[in-house]
Structure 1
Amino acid sequence: MSVTFIRSTPEQLTEELAIINSNPDYNLLSHGKAVLTAGELQEEHLQAQQLGAERKLIMQDDTPIGIVELLPLYPQDGYPWLGLFMINGSKRRSGYGALAWQAVEQMLLQRGIHELRLAVIAENEPAHAFWKKQQFHYVKPSVNHTGLNVIIYEKQLDIPILS
């Protein structure tokens, strides 16, 4: 079982929307509704592009199973950030998240990125557990650009993941 990445383009909007809407609990926390529209997803893409983020589909063979969005340098704090990491809801709890994260981490190390920050919505307990298991450490609470309470985590990427 392995994963690869392809650059996300407007042509993959349908695939991305299917992945995002397969996670209604996250959508409720982040957007206040279970299902997002294509227009809302396009707006997220535009905001990410304006910050310099790169968005990729996580592929297993020829099937998109997730989305990863990386911001190599967040201007407000000078850190690289993970803006989004989502696995299709049908693939959750089957090892794909950890597998995909390991591939992302290797990609970042190959680019010379050795530390990374991310923010988790305060009420998103499954995400807190996942990122702690991936050796991310608590930094501080904050409020994100949409006004949600979040917890910021970071990781030194050259530290090996322990199972």
Structure 2
Amino acid sequence: MIVFEKNEISKLEVELDIMNSNPAYNIISKDREKIDEEDIRNEYLECKRLNTERLLVKQNDAYIGLIDYCLENPSDNLRGSACLSFIKSIKEMELLLSFISLLRI
């Protein structure tokens, strides 16, 4: 079963593990393969400033991804976009595709 859990700074190590499991994404977003705790702290500050919700995606007892989303973007007062990051593996990618299909309903 997949559940969503509020992502808080106390779970920084969980987020760091998820983010560093996908170096290709980090190269695109941070211009390097690995990110560090300071990057995560900066993300928390930015999300707080933008009033962005942060959730961890958990399957059974394992954290498999995270979602940041903004219900209203302060720059244009429109619905903001979501950022999805998942642990990179075949099984988790199948779950991601299932999750995306749920969003289209």
TM-score category (smaller protein)? 0.7 to 0.9
Q: Name the count of aligned residue pairs.
A: 105
The one-character-per-residue Cα deviations of 1:19-55 (angstroms, maximum 9, x if unpaired) are 1001101111111100000111110111011100010
**Separation in structure 1 between the aligned mates of residue 9 and residue 92 of structure 2, nearest angstrom:** 29
- 1:93 offset after TM fit, Å? 6.6
Alpha-carbon spacing, 1:19–1:50, altered in 2? closer, same or farther (3 Å)? same
**Structure 1 stretches of at least 4 aligned residues deviating more than 6 Å after TM superposition:** none
- Partner residue of 1:36? 35
- Partner residue of 1:111? none
- 1:69 offset after TM fit, Å? 0.6
TM-score of the aligned structures, taking structure 2 as reference length: 0.88
Q: Which has the higher helix share?
A: 2
Alignment of 1:10-29 (within 5 A): 10-29=9-28
SS of alignment partner, residue 89 of structure 1: coil
Q: Which has the higher strand share?
A: 1
- 1:79 offset after TM fit, Å? 2.1
What is the percent sequence identity of the aligned residues?
24
Alignment of 1:1-163 (within 5 A): 2-91=1-90, 94-102=93-101, 105=103, 160=105
Gaps of 5+ in 1: 106-156
**Separation in structure 1 between the aligned mates of residue 26 and residue 77 of structure 2, nearest angstrom:** 28
1:58–1:100 Cα contact (<8 Å) kept: no
1:70–1:80 Cα contact (<8 Å) kept: no
**Separation in structure 2 between the aligned mates of residue 9 and residue 93 of structure 1, nearest angstrom:** 22
User: Once superposed, what is the RMSD of the aligned Cα atoms?
Assistant: 1.8
Higher relative contact order structure (alpha carbons within 8 Å, sequence separation ≥ 6): 2
